[in-house]
C-alpha cells in the first residue's frame, strides 16, 4: 500500500480517546480552582476594599457556571468541547464586559488599576484553552476576537475626546496589558502550532512504520519485521549460547483454493489461519506472514529440538477443524520445515532458506507434514531451487542462446541439417550444461516457455540461413516431453513456421523414446498431424530408453539418432564394443527396412566414423565433424559451402 494513502488517526476533537480523557482529567482538576477564585472574590472583595458592583454581580455567575461545567465534564468526557468553548467564550465575555465597565462607567483611576491587575490574570486561560481542541477553530477565533476587541476598547479609551477619568497610569497599564496579551497570544499560537505539527508528524511516522512492518491482510508482522526480529533473536542467542528454531509454514494447495474459489475466499482463509496460528503461540514466540501463503514462526530459547516439532504438531492440530468461508467448509493443511540456530546456519537468510528447503521436502513427499532441515539432501535441493530462480529470470530476460551442431551425410560428407542446442551462462553458475538445467526446467514447467522460445528462434535462424544458402538447410530442435504434451503443441509449431515464413520440411523435431512410448493416443495423433504438415520427426538418444522397436513401425518417424554411448564404443579395443556393434547393426538393418535415416551421435574419431558408416548409419554428428557453433560461425560455414569467399574465421562454441 502506498504510504500517501495512509491517513494518520484523526486528530479531530473526539477522535482520540486518550487525548480527550487526558484533558478531561486536567480540567476536572483545574476548574475547582476557578470556582474557588470567583467565589472567594465574591466573599472577600468587600472586606478587602476592592469592591466593584460588576464583580459583585458577575463573580457568583462565573463561579456557578464553572461549577456547572465541572459537573458536565465529570458526567461525560464527551462534553469536553462544549465545556472548553463555554469557558473560553464565557471568560472572554466576562473580561470584555469588565473592561467596558472599568473604562467607560466612571470608575476612579486607582480603582481601575487594581481591578485590571486583579482580573486580567485570566487572559492566559482563554489563550491556552482556545487551543485545547485540535482541529476546532472556534476557540481560536474567540481568543483572537477577544484580543482585537480589547485593543479596540483600549484605543477608544485612549482616544476618547475629553474622557473625564483618563490618567497616564491607566493608559500605561492598558498598554502593558495589550503588549503582554499580544506576546502571549503569539507565543501560545506558535507553541501549539509546533506541538500539533510534531504530533501529526510523529503519528504519520508511527503509522508508516507500523504499515511497513505489518502485513495488512492478517495484521501479523511481515517479512521485514521477521528479519529484524530474527536478527535480534540470533544476537541474544549467541550471547546466551541458546538455540533458536525457525518453522517455515506453507499452506498446502493454496493456489488451487484461490483459483477455484477466488481470491476473496483465499484471503479469508489466510485471515482465519493467522488467528489460529496465533492461538498456539506462547508468550515469546513470534509469527510473521512473509508472502502469499507462507508464514514463519520463531521460537527462542529452544532447550530441546523436540519442542519445535511439538509446536509444529500443535499447529497442525489447531488446523484440523474446517475453515468456514462464504458458507463453504475448507480443510486446510500445512507443510512445515524446521531449521535451528546455530546447528543448521548462523544467519537469518540461511536459516530461512534451510527451513524453506525442509518444507519443500515435505511438499515433495506428500504434503501435510513436518520435516527438519537435513544438510546432505537439502543443500542439493537448495542449489536446484536457486538455479531454477535464476533460470526463470534468464528466460524472461532472454539471456539464453542457441548454438548449432551440423549433422553430416556419411556418404557425401555434406551437411544435412543443424541441431539447435541451448546454452546458458550466468555470473553465479558460470556455463551451465543443458544436462543440468534442462531437467530443472522440466521439473518446474519452465521448459514449456523455454521450448517455445527455442522453436521460434531456430525457425527464425533457419529462415535467415535459407537466404544465405540457396539449397537451404534443415534445423533440428529438441522437444521435451512436457512441451510435447501441451494440447497446443501442434498449433505452436504451425504458428512458429508461419510467423517466420519457414516451410515445414526445413524443421525436424527430436523426441525421446520415453516420450513416444507414453500416452500413445495423443502422441500418435500429434505426430501424424505434424508429419502431414511436412515436419520431420527424429528419435533422439536411441538405445538409452525402452528401445521398444514396435513403435518404429507404428509411428510416423523419419530418423533414429543412436546415442553417443554406443558410438563411443565403436572402434574401441575393449570388450563392450561387441554389444554396441551388434546394436548399431541391428538398428541400421531395421531402419533400412523401414526406410528411416540413422544418425550416429557423438562421433569423435575417424575410426568411429568409418565403422558407423560401414554398419549402415546414413548420417553422423560429433566433434569429429564439428562442435556446436555460434550462429555467426554457421553463417560463415554456409557461405563457404555455398561457394562464397570466406570473409570471417569460423568461430566455434563449446
The mark string for 593-622 relative to Mg ion (x by CB under 5 A, - otherwise) is --------x---------------------
Three-state DSSP at 538 gives strand
CB 359 within 8 A of CB 336: yes
Binding-site member from 252, 293, 508, 540 for Mg ion (CB under 5 A): 540
Please identify, using beta-carbon distances, which residue of 266 and 622 lies nearer to Mg ion. 622
Query: Which 140-179 positions form the footprint of Mg ion (CB under 5 A)?
Result: none
CB 348 within 8 A of CB 230: yes
Cβ at position 620, least distance to ligand C2E in Å? 9
* 422 binding partner (options Mg ion, ligand C2E, none; Cβ < 5 to 8 Å by kind): ligand C2E
Q: Does position 571 bind ligand C2E by CB under 6 A?
A: no
**Which residue stretch of 61-69, 161-169, 268-276, 533-541 sits at the interface with Mg ion (rule: CB under 5 A)?**
533-541
Please identify, using beta-carbon distances, which residue of 154 and 511 lies nearer to ligand C2E. 511
Cβ at position 536, least distance to ligand C2E in Å? 15
Beta carbons within 10 angstroms of residue 138's beta carbon: 14
Query: Which 312-331 positions form the footprint of ligand C2E (CB under 6 A)?
Result: none
* 623 binding partner (options ligand C2E, Mg ion, none; Cβ < 5 to 8 Å by kind): ligand C2E
Q: What per-residue string of b and e applies to 90-128 under the rule 16 or more CB within 10 Å gives b?
A: bbbebbeebbebbbeeebeeeebbbbbebbbebbebbbb
Cβ at position 505, least distance to ligand C2E in Å? 20
The mark string for 575-614 relative to ligand C2E (x by CB under 6 A, - otherwise) is --------------------------xxxx----------
Nearest one of 9, 167, 627, 159 to 637, comparing CA atoms? 627
Query: Can you read off the three cell numbers belonging to residue 240?
Result: 546466551
Please identify, using beta-carbon distances, which residue of 361 and 564 lies nearer to Mg ion. 564
Query: Can you read off the three cell numbers belonging to residue 128?
Result: 491556552
The mark string for 470-509 relative to ligand C2E (x by CB under 6 A, - otherwise) is --------x-x-----------------------------
Task: Say how far apart CA 17 and CA 493 lie, in whole Å.
Answer: 68
Binding-site member from 84, 126, 325, 438 for ligand C2E (CB under 6 A): 438
Radius of gyration, alpha carbons of the chain: 45
- The full DSSP string for 388-427 is HHHHHHHHHTT--EEEEEEEEETTT--EEEEEEEEEEEET
CB 587 within 8 A of CB 570: no
Q: Does position 457 bind ligand C2E by CB under 6 A?
A: no
Query: Which 317-376 positions form the footprint of Mg ion (CB under 5 A)?
Result: none
Cβ at position 570, least distance to ligand C2E in Å? 12
* Long-range contacts of the stretch 437-444 (C-beta < 8 A, 24+): 437/387, 437/391, 438/480, 440/384, 440/387, 440/388, 440/391, 441/391, 441/480, 442/480, 442/481, 442/482, 443/388, 444/388, 444/391, 444/392
Please identify, using beta-carbon distances, which residue of 20 and 629 lies nearer to Mg ion. 629
Q: Where are the alpha helices (DSSP H) in 131-253?
A: 138-159, 168-213, 223-240
Q: Does position 510 bind Mg ion by CB under 5 A?
A: yes
Backbone φ and ψ of 644, nearest 5°: -85, 155
Please identify, using beta-carbon distances, which residue of 315 and 448 lies nearer to ligand C2E. 448
Query: Residue numbers of the site for Mg ion (CB under 5 A)?
Result: 478, 510, 540-541, 601
Query: Residue numbers of the site for ligand C2E (CB under 6 A)?
Result: 405, 421-422, 433-435, 438, 451, 454, 478, 480, 510, 540-541, 564, 601-604, 621-623, 628
Amino acid at each position: 500500500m502506498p504510504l500517501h494513502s495512509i491517513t494518520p488517526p484523526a486528530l479531530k476533537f473526539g477522535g482520540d480517546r486518550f487525548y480527550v480523557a487526558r484533558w478531561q482529567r486536567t480540567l476536572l482538576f483545574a476548574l475547582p480552582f476557578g470556582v474557588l477564585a470567583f467565589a472567594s472574590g465574591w466573599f472577600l472583595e468587600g472586606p478587602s476594599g476592592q469592591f466593584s458592583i460588576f464583580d459583585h454581580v458577575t463573580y457568583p455567575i462565573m463561579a456557578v457556571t464553572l461549577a456547572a461545567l465541572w459537573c458536565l465534564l465529570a458526567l461525560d468526557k464527551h462534553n469536553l468541547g462544549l465545556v472548553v468553548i463555554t469557558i473560553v467564550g464565557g471568560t472572554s465575555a466576562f473580561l470584555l464586559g469588565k473592561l467596558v465597565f472599568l473604562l467607560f462607567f466612571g470608575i476612579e483611576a486607582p480603582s481601575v488599576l487594581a481591578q485590571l491587575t486583579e482580573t486580567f490574570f485570566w487572559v492566559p486561560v482563554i489563550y491556552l484553552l482556545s487551543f485545547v481542541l485540535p482541529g476546532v477553530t472556534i476557540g481560536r477565533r474567540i481568543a483572537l476576537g477577544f484580543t482585537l476587541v480589547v485593543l479596540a476598547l483600549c484605543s477608544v479609551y485612549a482616544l476618547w475626546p475629553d474622557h473625564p477619568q483618563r490618567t497616564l497610569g491607566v493608559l500605561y497599564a492598558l498598554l502593558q496589558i495589550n503588549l503582554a496579551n499580544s506576546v502571549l497570544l503569539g507565543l501560545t499560537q506558535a507553541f501549539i502550532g509546533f506541538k500539533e505539527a510534531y504530533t501529526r508528524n510523529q503519528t504519520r511516522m508511527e503509522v508508516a512504520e507500523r504499515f511497513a512492518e505489518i502485513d495488512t491482510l492478517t495484521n501479523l508482522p511481515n517479512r521485514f519485521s521477521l528479519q529484524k526480529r530474527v536478527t535480534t533473536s540470533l544476537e541474544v542467542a549467541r550471547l546466551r549460547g541458546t538455540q533458536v528454531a525457525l518453522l517455515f509454514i506453507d499452506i498446502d494447495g493454496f493456489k488451487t483454493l484461490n483459483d477455484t474459489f477466488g481470491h476473496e475466499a483465499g484471503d479469508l482463509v489466510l485471515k482465519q489461519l493467522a488467528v489460529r496460528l496465533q492461538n498456539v503461540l506462547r508468550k515469546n514466540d513470534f509469527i510473521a506472514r512473509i508472502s502469499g501463503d507462507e508464514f514463519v514462526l520463531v521460537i527462542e530459547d529452544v532447550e530441546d529440538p523436540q519442542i519445535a516439532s511439538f509446536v509444529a504438531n500443535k499447529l497442525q492440530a489447531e488446523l484440523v477443524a474446517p475453515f468456514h468461508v462464504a458458507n463453504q467448509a475448507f480443510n486446510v493443511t500445512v507443510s512445515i520445515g524446521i531449521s535451528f540456530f546455530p546447528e543448521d546456519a548462523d544467519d537469518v537468510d540461511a536459516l530461512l532458506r534451510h527451513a524453506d528447503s525442509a518444507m519443500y521436502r515435505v511438499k515433495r513427499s506428500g504434503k501435510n507434514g513436518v520435516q527438519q532441515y537435513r544438510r546432505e539432501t537439502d543443500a542439493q535441493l537448495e542449489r536446484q531451487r536457486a538455479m531454477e530462480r535464476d533460470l526463470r529470470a534468464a528466460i524472461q530476460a532472454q539471456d539464453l542462446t542457441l548454438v548449432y551442431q551440423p549433422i553430416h551425410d556419411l556418404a557425401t560428407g555434406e551437411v544435412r541439417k543443424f541441431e539447435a542446442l541451448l546454452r546458458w551462462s550466468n555470473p553465479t553458475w558460470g556455463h551451465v550444461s543443458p544436462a543440468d538445467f534442462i531437467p530443472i526446467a522440466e521439473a518446474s514447467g519452465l521448459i514449456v516457455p523455454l521450448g517455445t522460445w527455442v522453436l521460434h528462434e531456430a525457425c527464425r535462424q533457419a529462415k535467415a540461413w535459407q537466404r544465405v544458402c540457396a539449397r537451404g538447410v534443415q534445423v533440428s530442435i529438441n522437444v521435451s516431453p512436457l512441451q510435447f504434451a501441451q494440447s497446443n503443441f501442434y498449433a505452436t509449431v504451425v504458428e512458429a513456421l508461419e510467423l517466420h515464413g519457414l516451410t515445414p520440411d526445413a524443421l525436424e523435431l527430436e523426441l525421446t523414446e520415453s516420450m513416444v512410448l507414453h500416452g500413445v493416443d495423443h502422441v500418435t495423433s500429434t505426430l501424424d498431424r505434424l508429419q502431414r504438415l511436412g515436419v520431420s520427426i527424429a528419435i533422439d538418444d536411441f538405445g538409452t530408453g525402452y528401445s521398444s522397436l514396435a513403435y518404429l513401425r507404428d509411428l510416423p518417424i523419419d530418423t533414429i539418432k543412436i546415442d553417443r554411448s554406443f558410438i563411443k564404443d565403436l572402434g574401441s579395443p575393449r570388450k563392450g564394443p561387441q554389444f554396441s556393434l551388434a546394436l548399431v547393426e541391428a538398428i541400421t538393418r531395421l531402419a533400412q527396412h523401414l526406410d528411416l535415416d540413422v544418425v550416429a551421435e557423438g562421433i569423435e574419431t575417424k575410426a568411429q566414423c568409418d565403422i558407423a558408416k560401414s554398419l549402415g548409419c546414413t548420417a553422423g554428428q560429433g566433434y569429429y565433424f564439428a562442435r556446436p557453433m555460434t550462429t555467426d560461425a554457421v553463417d560463415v560455414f554456409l557461405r563457404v559451402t555455398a561457394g562464397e569467399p570466406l570473409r570471417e574465421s569460423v568461430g566455434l562454441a563449446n
